[in-house]
A and B are shown apart, each in its own frame.
Chain A
């Protein structure tokens, strides 16, 4: 019987690339067609206009800043807020996982805070910290904190008991167990938490900039909306998408490098 060998799609990189380009071309074509006609077309600039404006934004300022500067402002906010979330979230997750007293103390508080979306903190953030940078850091931090803490907590809590037993048998004390077994066991989960939370933090910065700011990618969108400049709105959205993609690729590359031993990271 002459049977054709079933080919694995993912096995061919060229094929994947061709499909990727094809999907982009179709998207641009549909987008262009929609922008040509009717009511929607009035508020839907053609993709070529958006690409042109996007490229222009790197040379000519939108508002007071060029695109790179806007991205820099947004990234700085994310890094400060996200960094705070990491500094608080990882130790908090570890304390809850490793100490029964720590879990008993923090878990009830954390369980209440956990289901509250980061953006629900907006009114309080404004009241407590005003409309400046601090409220933005706070919002981003609260958004990132939950994911980082939970992933660290579960990663450390479910460290393999077989490994803990083996290390104990070799004479490891509590501190050695923590450093040599629990912490490394939690690293893949911590990375997963960092990746997910970074995406959340990047969303939060856009919301924070829409509330009140003079710069940043969120501001580009909000400003475009105020002046009915839909091309500028979409330029802002494209910038957000691209920066998010680059950040997530970099985090994945970092995970591959630091957790080469982990199958998930391969």
Chain B
């Protein structure tokens, strides 16, 4: 069953055509990565999907209906830290649940479970200015998973982290995804990350952005970045977006 159906999505800013007739589906529970050269319009693509931008033409359906932020449960984790500095870790994780109108008991329970999943239980009373970069991103991840979203959108969420932390959080994300079965769209310019995480990779072209190729990634989890199959797939994707 398709969770997301994107049909003929077109978006331009003035004369600049950014998205050109993009169509694709995302299956329920699938982990989809979207890669493309820098500045190809990946974020515009996500912002159109989430209605931050109005689209010029085409349609985006979630569970067979046009996306409605009030009705559908969407979570968005971006590169910038999106924790509220005036709320502590627990309150940050509870934020989405409270907005969605869960009962106090549910809010508490779901937030505690999400904190446990990302290993921040003992930091629940800390404020963001007391946390490290990776912890901040884990708070955002806990907040996103806490609402059990229909769709989790991630826009280069680990772009600001160093390599070691990135690996750690990537594994953590995979564990959460497999445990909870959330549908994930993960945007990145890091090809290795896309191959490591996803089940399918959409390769975007330069502007005006179109889907250049869709690659099924059937490598078994847990993946090894040094395995022959991994390197082969990574090189294949790299060749597709090579602009140098």
Contact surface of A with B, Cβ cutoff 8 Å: 162-163, 165-173, 176, 180-181, 184, 187, 259-263, 266
User: Across the interface, do B75 and A261 meet the contact criterion of CB distance under 8 Å?
Assistant: no
User: Across the interface, do B84 and A184 meet the contact criterion of CB distance under 8 Å?
Assistant: yes
A residues less than 8 Å from B147 (CB atoms): 170
Does B113 touch A at the CB level, under 8 Å?
no
How far is it, in angstroms, between the C-alpha of A93 and the C-alpha of B103 when the chains are bound?
A: 34
How far is it, in angstroms, between the C-alpha of A105 and the C-alpha of B90 when the chains are bound?
A: 40
Residue of A nearest to B87 (CB): A261
Does B86 touch A at the CB level, under 8 Å?
yes
Count CB-based A-B contacts (< 8 Å): 63
User: Across the interface, do B78 and A166 meet the contact criterion of CB distance under 8 Å?
Assistant: yes
Interface flags, B134-167, vs A, CB<8A=1, else 0: 0000001001000100000100000000000000
B residues less than 8 Å from A165 (CB atoms): 52, 76, 78, 82
User: Across the interface, do B86 and A259 meet the contact criterion of CB distance under 8 Å?
Assistant: yes
B residues less than 8 Å from A266 (CB atoms): 129
User: Across the interface, do B99 and A162 meet the contact criterion of CB distance under 8 Å?
Assistant: no
From B75, B82, B96, A162 is in contact (CB under 8 Å) with B82
Count of B interface residues, CB-CB < 8 Å: 28
What's the dominant secondary structure at chain A's contact region? Answer: helix
User: Across the interface, do A171 and B82 meet the contact criterion of CB distance under 8 Å?
Assistant: no
Known: A165-B78, A168-B69, A170-B75. A261 touches B127 (CB 8 A): yes
User: Across the interface, do A171 and B73 meet the contact criterion of CB distance under 8 Å?
Assistant: yes
Does B36 touch A at the CB level, under 8 Å?
no
User: Across the interface, do B127 and A260 meet the contact criterion of CB distance under 8 Å?
Assistant: yes
User: Across the interface, do A173 and B96 meet the contact criterion of CB distance under 8 Å?
Assistant: no
Residue of B nearest to A172 (CB): B99
From A163, A169, A187, B69 is in contact (CB under 8 Å) with A169
Q: Which of B64-82 contact A (CB under 8 A)?
A: 69-70, 73-76, 78, 80-82
Does B196 touch A at the CB level, under 8 Å?
no
Minimal beta-carbon separation of B95 from chain A (angstroms): 7
Known: A171-B99, A173-B70, A180-B95. A166 touches B129 (CB 8 A): no
A residues less than 8 Å from B82 (CB atoms): 162-163, 165-166
Minimal beta-carbon separation of A183 from chain B (angstroms): 10
How far is it, in angstroms, between the C-alpha of A167 and the C-alpha of B95 when the chains are bound?
A: 8
Chain B CB count within 10 A is highest, among A165, A166, A173, for A166
